[in-house]
Amino acid sequence: MTAPALELCNVRKAFGTTEIIRGVSLSVTACERHAVIGPNGAGKSTLFNLISGRMKPDAGSIALKGSDITAMSPWLINRRGLSRSFQVTNIFHRMSVWENVRAGVLWSAGERYAFWRDAGSAREVGARTDRILVDFGLIDRRDAPAGILTYADQRALEIAITVAGGADVILLDEPTAGMSRAETDRAVALIRRISEGRTLMIVEHDMSVVFGLADRISVLVYGEIVASGAPAEIRNNPKVREAYLGEEAH
């Protein structure tokens, strides 16, 4: 049996005396779409920050495809095939849309820190960048500085940069936050497509998105996972209804 794409074991994280993540253990199998839901302040974004290396856990271990990545630097984790997006749009504002996506492609294409060859010389880098821009409907804006894009386009670019490197484990932090219904539908279709054959972990507030997309759902309440299972199980779990779904009826 292959190792799970992601395996968290008793992960803890405190800010000062406040423990935000209180012993989370979680296993995400390869090619699964796994949603993390929970009320505001439950620690969902912190959990993503711990997995992606943005923060170091106080205790516990995190393994990516069977190898330990606990407290590793973000770039090392990224090079091992895990890529994440951010809740607050986090792009390269002064660079063009095309350059933004290419920045996501460069390392995985083996370009690394090269300063002796032209970044445009490797054809597959440009081709892959173009393909991603077409996929995300951003090709018409390719030369625009990323900072002047509309909000929805910036959200799309955020995800485009995330998947550009071809990582096989993708973490999306509230990809549809602040989007209209139509924009959300488009985003969901896009996420479904890009997560084809990859492992997806997603934090999302919109329950229609969560239940439409996820193979499995984990419910995080005050830094602990109170339930984990298929959407139908979660929907009918009384503990979840009480802690979460009841409060935010969507």
Residue 35, beta-bridge partner list: 202, 217
Residues near other proteins (CB under 8 A), total: 42
Under the criterion CB under 8 A, does residue 115 sit at the interface with other proteins?
yes
When the beta carbons of 153 and 206 are compared against other proteins, the nearer one is 153
Stretch that binds other proteins, among 98-106, 172-180, 196-204, 208-216 (CB under 8 A): 98-106
Provide, rounded to whole angstroms, the least separation between the CB of residue 162 and other proteins: 8
Provide, rounded to whole angstroms, the least separation between the CB of residue 186 and other proteins: 23
Provide, rounded to whole angstroms, the least separation between the CB of residue 78 and other proteins: 4
Stretch that binds other proteins, among 31-39, 74-82, 181-189, 200-208 (CB under 8 A): 74-82
* 127 to 166: interface string for other proteins, x by CB under 8 A: ----------------x-x---------------xx-xx-
Under the criterion CB under 8 A, does residue 198 sit at the interface with other proteins?
no
Chain positions contacting other proteins, by CB under 8 A: 52-54, 73-75, 78-79, 83-84, 86, 90-96, 99, 102-104, 106-108, 111-120, 126, 143, 145, 161-162, 164-165
